[in-house]
Chains A and B, each alone.
Chain A
Amino acid sequence: MARVLVLGYGNPLRSDDGLGWRVAVELFRANASPDVLVLPCHQLTPDLAETASLVETVIFVDCSHKGEPGKILCEEVRSQSGPASFTHDLSPAALLALAAELFGVCPRAYMFTICGECFDPGESFSPSVSSCIPGLKAMIRRQIEDALLDTVGRQKLVS
């Protein structure tokens, strides 16, 4: 059973928007640890809630459209119920809320983003995003290592 889940999401056909998906694909190919589950996906869907509830730490990877292009950010994510017009895609906070409310477990979660500058149809990244990808992957790997060293494990919520 994996302890860390990496969810990289985005549209690989929309230039920088595909960052999370592409990084997840590369981490998936390089990953040999049974403790780490890496899933590239187009968007966060409610059916990922159960998977998220089974691990201690979730690492989200996405491209942001706000901020300085090429800037890497890492922040902790807290669970929060979804938007009113919710249909079938979720924010990371809403996915955690679903995991907590449906399956009684809310894992720790971190969000890694790079601010993109081009979201037009295309399969390549803008230079500012492309140049940051190695650094982003190194940061994610460190976060995974830290999570695996953490013996306290998941934060149990009362269901």
Chain B
Amino acid sequence: MQSAVSKSIVIDPVTRIEGHGKITLQLDANGRVEDARFHVTQFRGFEKFCEGRPFSEMPALMARICGICPVSHLIASAKACDALLAVRIPPTADKLRRIFGLAQVVQSHALSFFYLSSPDLLLGMDADPAKANLFGVLEKKPELARDGIHLRQFGQQIIERLGGKRIHPSWVVPGGVSEPLTELNRDAILAGIPEALAIAERTLGWFKSIMENFREEIGSFGNFPSLFLGIVKKDGGLTFYDGGIRIVNSAGEVVANGLDPADYPEYIGEKVESWSYLKSPYYEPSGYPQGIYRVGPLARLNVADRCGTPRADQELAEFHELQRTAVLSSFHYHHARLVEILYCVERLEQLLTDPEILSKHVRAVAGPNSLEGVGCCEAPRGTLFHHYKIDEQGLIRWANLLIATGHNNLAMNRGILQVAKHFVHGERMTPGMLNRVEALIRTYDPCLSCSTHAFGEMPLVIQLFNASGDMVDEVRRPC
């Protein structure tokens, strides 16, 4: 295993992420990290096996891509189908879909922050891996664990009230939604808002109070220049449902604005690398790999001028103060995620108190009027595109999905290299080194099942290779 020249480390699996993957770190002759790669090694093929299915089945079929964010796939898919129908959905259906999407963001962000990342933040990056879980959080700060559970339940219960079930609901359909909101369900959701808001505020306050403890991580966790991409409203406001694509550079300057999501092939290139099933999208005008961009909470707050809700607007202004340019460190994904939770809860209240929200007109009915449609929304992890082509019978002939985790692929790879260069030294990985590499990936909250459509589990490893290509260390943790 040992080589006179070069070394390599493998981390497998990467823990506390959605799905599994493998990291290889290449060392030079002096034992310094020279290169890093994040491998996603399995394949599911949703784009292929939906071919030949009626387009009307697509939302329910695509929701099966993910058990964490089925709602985002439902929404993007239904919007692509709306484009095939060439209909404008009823205003109430539009608002109900937004509520559904916001609830999804709350529960998914709560899972990411409280269940997966809070152990690192509360117990420290060098904590015993056996304690770095929700039970460890429970032991040290039970109110944080309780808040996380309650917030996720709040989001999940909204999804269940609207969609009939928490996982893989099929309430969002081409042309709108299948059922209107009842007064009973609206009032029950509204009753939960004050506590959800209090949790969001409390957690943001706590996070900001401990940020100073992570100066080194802030400086080295994916802290590099890149583009940032997200949807914004016409007025530049934060949105998860629709709008134009805005791209800003690392200086915070707008590079592109108001791009039609339906035209994404004109400005997003999709590169495939031989060592991963995860695509590497890039901003086409900048070329590959210079067109690296990030999506998700950090990007959304970097591209948005405002949130449009009172408390989240205050927090966004404070977030923008973190850096004079765009906020670059991927560590701040955590912060952005919490600001977004606050926004979502405030926005849920606005939408649920809308006088039209109980309207019974929630679905437009039509046959296919267009043979091609693109649907786009902001999923918890970033911008999501569904693109379908159908034949005259309405059967799917071609589909392409651009998933948030895929958008972040280049950035995750660059971030892993940066954090590994900073923290990994020598031929053996300490638990603290390993956890920092993993924690960098967790900031992106990647969903590998979503983005590769992989079937089954994908164990993830970190492997350390020397310059001769020999593997000199490998770290595996139980899934």
Q: Mark B419-440, 1 if CB is under 8 A from A, else 0.
A: 0000000000000000000000
A46 & B115 in contact (Cβ 8 Å cutoff): yes
Contact partner of A46 (CB less than 8 A), chosen from B142, B149, B167, is: B149
| A157 contacts across to B, CB distance below 8 A | none
Complex-state Cα separation, A42 to B156, whole angstroms? 13
For the residues of B in contact with A, the DSSP-based class is helix
A84 & B130 in contact (Cβ 8 Å cutoff): yes
Q: Does residue B311 face the partner (Cβ distance < 8 Å to A)?
A: no
Number of A-B contacts (CB under 8 A): 62
A82 & B134 in contact (Cβ 8 Å cutoff): yes
Contact partner of B138 (CB less than 8 A), chosen from A45, A85, A87, A98, is: A98
* CB within 8 Å for A50 and B134 given contacts A41-B166, A85-B15: no
Q: Mark A55-83, 1 if CB is under 8 A from B, else 0.
A: 00000000000000000000000000111
Chain B min CB distance to A14 (Å): 10
| A41 contacts across to B, CB distance below 8 A | 166-167
Closest B residue to A51 by CB, please name it: B153
| A109 contacts across to B, CB distance below 8 A | none
| B149 contacts across to A, CB distance below 8 A | 46-47, 49-50, 98, 102
A50 & B16 in contact (Cβ 8 Å cutoff): no
Q: Does residue B214 face the partner (Cβ distance < 8 Å to A)?
A: no
Number of residues from A at the complex interface, CB < 8 A: 21
Q: Does residue A123 face the partner (Cβ distance < 8 Å to B)?
A: no
Chain A min CB distance to B455 (Å): 9
Q: Which B131-145 residues sit within 8 Å CB-CB of chain A? A: 131, 133-135, 138, 142, 145
Q: Does residue A97 face the partner (Cβ distance < 8 Å to B)?
A: yes
Chain B min CB distance to A9 (Å): 11
> Known pairs A82-B135, A102-B149. 11 more at Cβ < 8 A?
A45-B152, A47-B149, A50-B149, A83-B478, A84-B131, A85-B133, A87-B116, A94-B135, A98-B134, A98-B135, A98-B149
Spell out A's residues near B (CB within 8 Å).
Answer: 41-42, 45-47, 49-50, 81-88, 94, 97-98, 101-103
